[in-house]
């Protein structure tokens, strides 16, 4: 399969300050990557950099064969980068269904397919954005990104702050996306073991640099190493 995303020695940050250094990796269509590391090591900044919202000091980002290093966020989104930021950005005056239809772009993901993936959103389709639980908001955020028919989903801590029962529902949906739909994903997650169980590959960042890159299963199997790298209990 051809390369979908290629980061080549990416050094980026906010203004003059650098938070990512010399970051290189390649993903192919259908790859799933867990992006792990302690708080503040640059995981969110990496997703934000893919969307063109930091200052790229050095290196390049290639997407589907073209250089997008200097391309606007809007164009990256149109080119198939589906970003689900940590803040869920619900509109209180829009229903669930309106949240989905306003961003729809042609492709396999439509309302019917979304409601199959998230039956709870079908039940809540006429509820307003401010009448949803945190978990339901997260589902809307993911569903909204899917409605743009992206070629990759960038998920920033999708399980954060959610009740265990909802986490299970989300995990099922993300697993289905990755394993059955073949969706390419990068998932940033504090719950390292959960993220590793959902993905094929894992990259660990420390102070903006890649300090580990392997398949997810082998990192999951090496608990000592994982704990050292991400300091989970």
Ligand X SMILES: Nc1ncnc2c1ncn2[C@@H]1O[C@H](COP(=O)(O)OP(=O)(O)OP(=O)(O)O)[C@@H](O)[C@H]1O
Cα 141 to Cα 160: distance, rounded to the nearest angstrom: 13
Report the residue number, 221 or 231, with the smaller CB distance to ligand X: 231
Report the residue number, 44 or 69, with the smaller CB distance to ligand X: 44
Beta carbon of residue 136, minimum distance to ligand X (angstroms, whole number): 22
* Termini Cα distance of the chain: 37
Beta carbon of residue 13, minimum distance to ligand X (angstroms, whole number): 7
Beta carbon of residue 99, minimum distance to ligand X (angstroms, whole number): 24
Report the residue number, 43 or 201, with the smaller CB distance to ligand X: 43
By CB under 6 A, what part of segment 3-62 binds ligand X?
A: 14, 19, 37, 39-45
Report the residue number, 114 or 203, with the smaller CB distance to ligand X: 203
Beta carbon of residue 127, minimum distance to ligand X (angstroms, whole number): 29
By CB under 6 A, what part of segment 65-124 binds ligand X?
A: none
Q: Residue 221 — φ and ψ, nearest 5°?
A: -75, -20
Report the residue number, 45 or 77, with the smaller CB distance to ligand X: 45
List of residues 6+ apart from 69 with CB closer than 8 A:
56, 59, 60, 61
- The single-letter DSSP state of residue 108 is S
**Helical H runs in the chain?**
43-50, 73-78, 96-101, 111-117, 119-123, 134-147, 164-179, 192-198, 216-221, 223-230
- The alpha carbon torsion through 192, 194, 200, 204 (nearest 10 deg) reads -10
Residue in this structure with the two tokens 């869920």, named with its chain if needed: 88
Beta carbon of residue 156, minimum distance to ligand X (angstroms, whole number): 8
CB 200 within 8 A of CB 214: no
Report the residue number, 37 or 59, with the smaller CB distance to ligand X: 37
Distances (CA, A) of 38 to 35, 112, 139, 232: 10, 38, 25, 9
By CB under 6 A, what part of segment 163-222 binds ligand X?
A: none
Beta carbon of residue 105, minimum distance to ligand X (angstroms, whole number): 28
- The single-letter DSSP state of residue 104 is -
Q: How many residues make contact with ligand X (CB under 6 A)? A: 10
Beta carbon of residue 208, minimum distance to ligand X (angstroms, whole number): 7
Report the residue number, 51 or 111, with the smaller CB distance to ligand X: 51
Residue ranges binding ligand X (CB under 6 A): 14, 19, 37, 39-45
């Amino acid at each position: 399969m051809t390369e979908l995303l290629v980061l080549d020695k990416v050094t980026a940050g906010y203004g003059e300050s650098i938070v990512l250094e010399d970051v290189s990796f390649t993903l192919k269509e259908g790859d799933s990557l867990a992006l792990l590391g302690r708080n503040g090591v640059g995981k969110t900044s990496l997703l934000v950099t893919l969307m063109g919202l930091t200052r790229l000091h050095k290196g390049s980002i290639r997407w589907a064969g073209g250089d997008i290093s200097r391309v606007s966020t809007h164009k990256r989104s149109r080119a198939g980068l589906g970003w689900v930021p940590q803040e869920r950005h619900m509109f209180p005056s829009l229903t669930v269904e309106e949240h989905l239809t306003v961003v729809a772009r042609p492709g396999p993901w439509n309302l019917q397919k979304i409601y199959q993936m998230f039956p709870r959103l079908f039940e809540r389709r006429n509820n307003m954005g401010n009448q949803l639980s945190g978990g339901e908001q997260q589902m809307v955020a993911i569903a909204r990104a899917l409605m743009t028919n992206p070629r990759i989903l960038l998920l920033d801590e999708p399980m954060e702050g959610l009740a265990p029962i909802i986490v299970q529902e989300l995990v099922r949906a993300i697993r289905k996306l990755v394993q059955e739909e073949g969706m390419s994903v990068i998932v940033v997650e504090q719950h390292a073991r959960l993220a590793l169980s959902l993905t094929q590959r894992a990259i660990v960042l420390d102070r903006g640099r890649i300090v580990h890159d392997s398949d997810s299963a082998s990192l999951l199997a090496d608990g000592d190493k994982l704990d050292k790298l991400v300091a989970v209990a």
